[in-house]
Structure 1
Amino acid sequence: MKILITGATGKVGKAFLAAFLDNPKYTSAKIVALCHNRKVEAGERVEVITGSLSDPDAVAHVMEGVTHVLHMAAVKESPDLVIDVAIKGMFLLLEAARQSSTLKQFILIGGDCSVGHIFKDYPAPITETSPRQAYSGCYALTKVLEEVMIEQYQIQYGLNGTVLRAPWIMEKDDFKYALSFGPDQFGGPVWSDLISAEKAARLAEGRFVPLMRDKKGAALKRNFVHVDDLVAALMAALDHPAAMQELFNISMDEPVDYAQVADYLVRTRDMEPVEIPTPFHSNWLDNTKARHALGWRPQVDFEEMIERAWAYERSPSDPRKIWYPG
């Protein structure tokens, strides 16, 4: 087994590398990581190649002898990079994959951007057959196009593709800072879009937790997954017969309910909830298919995610640096 990984320096890539290399089932397997700006550490079983996904020669080189592709590289709201990296890069990988004599499986990590996240309203839980509806922005568009491209290569050429569609991925202390009112906030929504900057600054000085309300006035429900659970799903999907040419939602069993989060932090951290009306929709990403077909079960619920985030202590060698804001 030889796995090509794109996006190996991201939170999922690094977590997968560690889990895969430690798994006794894959002691003879090798990894090749295509890196551009950042690099992972090379080793006896990890080959690091510097290059761009938009370079046909670089893609052809890294695909030599590869049995599995794990495609995680992405660009966020960077219109100048979207075509070269997200679209051209995906096309070059798929073209090389369909012509390969060694490839067995192409795994894509997708995102719930393809179904609109909290920006689009769904009358029922979002399954793998729900319509794709990107929200505004080039990143969400790329997530839709990636899913469609691999789907079409499956139809046109019989490619063994697997898509794992994940919502917002949490690790370390991410969730704690996703709830912060301060300048250290991780991800969105940006509070200044919902409340005044002055109010956000005042709240940052106290022990407050946002209790966001959806467009109907109910507590907002938003989908998350812990990186450990996503990596477990990846490991489960590798060479699984039920994963062939399939799309799976990989998320917590239930979306995070901001009222439940607020109540838990009131009880356990003596924090005070702050009601924040939003224009967002509560959505439920249904993971039934992955649980049934892959035998996968997420282990981290919202309480465990809170406990892990609040307990995490960063070392001086592990500064909190956000490459992509989430």
Structure 2
Amino acid sequence: MAELVRLLVTGATGKVGRALVDRLGGSCEIRALCHNRPLDVPGVECVFGTISDRETVREAMAGVTHVVHLATCKETPDEIMDVAVKGLFWLLEEARESPTFERFVLVGGDAAVGHYVYKHPGPVTETQRHTAYQGCYALSKVLEEVMLEQYQIAYGLGGTCLRAPWIMDRDDFRYSLSFGPDLFGGPVWRELVDGDVPDGAVPLALDADGAPLKRNFVHVSDLVEAIAIALSHPAAGGETFNICMDEPVDYQQVAEHLAKTRGLPAVTVPTPYHSTWLDNTKAKLLLDWRPRYDTERLVEDAWTYQRSPEDPRRVWYPG
């Protein structure tokens, strides 16, 4: 690895990007490609513009040795191809032409393999074929992974894909279980049940087979550690890794824990979704990475987190 790492982070103002900047600050030179929001962090250089503009990307990539690509869109058809395809294409083009470039780390998502939309007969490993579900977001995750893979094949580009499920931070998980308008992400639990819902109730989600739903998560701090490792680890080059908790969250386990520790009621919620188990064995074996969060810690951190008046809950996009 280069003696001096010059790192470009896209999506640096987001949940993962800001945590990564904080984690790596002081250990390398960091440049952020910013679009809608500035990043006011001492020592971090910012380039402002849209990732879909080649000249902006060329400026951001000048002299860079490593890239962590986090910029993404959700279900926004008017914007998503500019970010996921055009933006990534310009980044990869600049990377392959650069004499200083070493490694490109793409943070992908389990949407590329359908996460809980499709039924998987066994653990979902990195060999699972791409299976995007309906909408543009999952398709964009597939296209990102394929583009990076093909640049690795065609040009020998140094690249790594870290495939993450739903990323949690602070009190995110608590609000992902809300029946109210403050719900974070989906499903929209209130639309899946009839009748009244008790105050403070949490969903005991059932999968399409009627068993407690199991869904994959990762805490932002565990993902950031995996990124930090992947930037330089020899075994990371050219590989894809599932970066997630050792076991998926079991909604029955969550409901039982909250009933025991906080007396919260649970409401059974049938869903059309499928329980999945994202397998992180490869990352643990090859990168010597270990997640610190399990279900209980995820729940406890979310329920004990206290926000100050200067730290309002702000969701830039729902997921």
Name the TM tier (shorter chain): over 0.9
The equivalent of 1:134 in structure 2 is 132
The equivalent of 1:296 in structure 2 is 289
| AA partner of residue 86 (structure 1) | A
| AA partner of residue 266 (structure 1) | A
185, 200, 204: which one pairs with 1:207?
Answer: 200
9, 15, 23: which one pairs with 2:19?
Answer: 15
Q: Distance in 2 between the 1:32 and 1:193 partners?
A: 43
Query: 1:186-197 maps to which residues of 2 (within 5 A)?
Result: 186-196=184-194
Whether the aligned pair in 1 keeps the contact of 2:47 and 2:59 (CA below 8 Å) is no
Structure 2 residue matching 1:279: 3-state secondary structure: coil
249, 267, 274: which one pairs with 1:281?
Answer: 274
Shift of 1:19: 0.9
Shift of 1:151: 0.3
The equivalent of 1:4 in structure 2 is 8
Q: Distance in 2 between the 1:193 and 1:91 partners?
A: 39
Deviations 1:150-198 (A, max 9, x none): 00000000011000000000001000111111111111001244124xx
Whether the aligned pair in 2 keeps the contact of 1:262 and 1:273 (CA below 8 Å) is yes
The equivalent of 1:160 in structure 2 is 158
Provide the TM-score with structure 2 as the length reference.
0.97
| AA partner of residue 130 (structure 2) | R
Shift of 1:132: 1.0
Whether the aligned pair in 1 keeps the contact of 2:179 and 2:190 (CA below 8 Å) is no
- In the alignment, structure 1 residue 35 sits paired with structure 2 residue 28: no
Q: Distance in 1 between the 2:191 and 2:112 partners?
A: 23
| AA partner of residue 14 (structure 1) | R
108, 111, 127: which one pairs with 1:110?
Answer: 108
Whether the aligned pair in 2 keeps the contact of 1:42 and 1:48 (CA below 8 Å) is no
Q: Distance in 1 between the 2:258 and 2:41 partners?
A: 41
Structure 2 residue matching 1:53: 3-state secondary structure: coil
Whether the aligned pair in 1 keeps the contact of 2:179 and 2:188 (CA below 8 Å) is no
Q: How many residues align?
A: 315
Structure 1 residue matching 2:25: 3-state secondary structure: helix
| AA partner of residue 108 (structure 1) | L
Deviations 1:135-160 (A, max 9, x none): 11101110000000000000000011
Provide the TM-score with structure 1 as the length reference.
0.95
Query: 1:117-128 maps to which residues of 2 (within 5 A)?
Result: 117-128=115-126
- In the alignment, structure 1 residue 237 sits paired with structure 2 residue 236: no
Deviations 1:92-140 (A, max 9, x none): 1011111110011000000000011110111110000011111111011
- In the alignment, structure 1 residue 149 sits paired with structure 2 residue 153: no
Deviations 1:236-284 (A, max 9, x none): 1121000001000000000000011111111101011211111100000
Q: Distance in 1 between the 2:81 and 2:171 partners?
A: 32
- Give the root-mean-square deviation of aligned CA atoms: 1.0
Shift of 1:235: 1.2
| AA partner of residue 5 (structure 1) | V
Whether the aligned pair in 1 keeps the contact of 2:170 and 2:302 (CA below 8 Å) is yes
Query: 1:310-325 maps to which residues of 2 (within 5 A)?
Result: 310-325=303-318
Q: Distance in 2 between the 1:55 and 1:133 partners?
A: 29
Q: Any stretches of 5+ residues in structure 1 without a counterpart?
A: none
Structure 2 residue matching 1:215: 3-state secondary structure: coil
Runs of 4+ in 1 over 4 A off after TM superposition: none
| AA partner of residue 73 (structure 2) | V
Structure 1 residue matching 2:144: 3-state secondary structure: helix
Q: Distance in 1 between the 2:50 and 2:311 partners?
A: 27
Whether the aligned pair in 1 keeps the contact of 2:215 and 2:276 (CA below 8 Å) is yes
Q: Any stretches of 5+ residues in structure 2 without a counterpart?
A: none
Q: Distance in 2 between the 1:88 and 1:213 partners?
A: 39
210, 216, 221: which one pairs with 1:223?
Answer: 216
Whether the aligned pair in 1 keeps the contact of 2:189 and 2:269 (CA below 8 Å) is no
Deviations 1:205-227 (A, max 9, x none): 51311000001111000000000
Q: Distance in 1 between the 2:23 and 2:275 partners?
A: 33
Q: Distance in 1 between the 2:265 and 2:257 partners?
A: 10
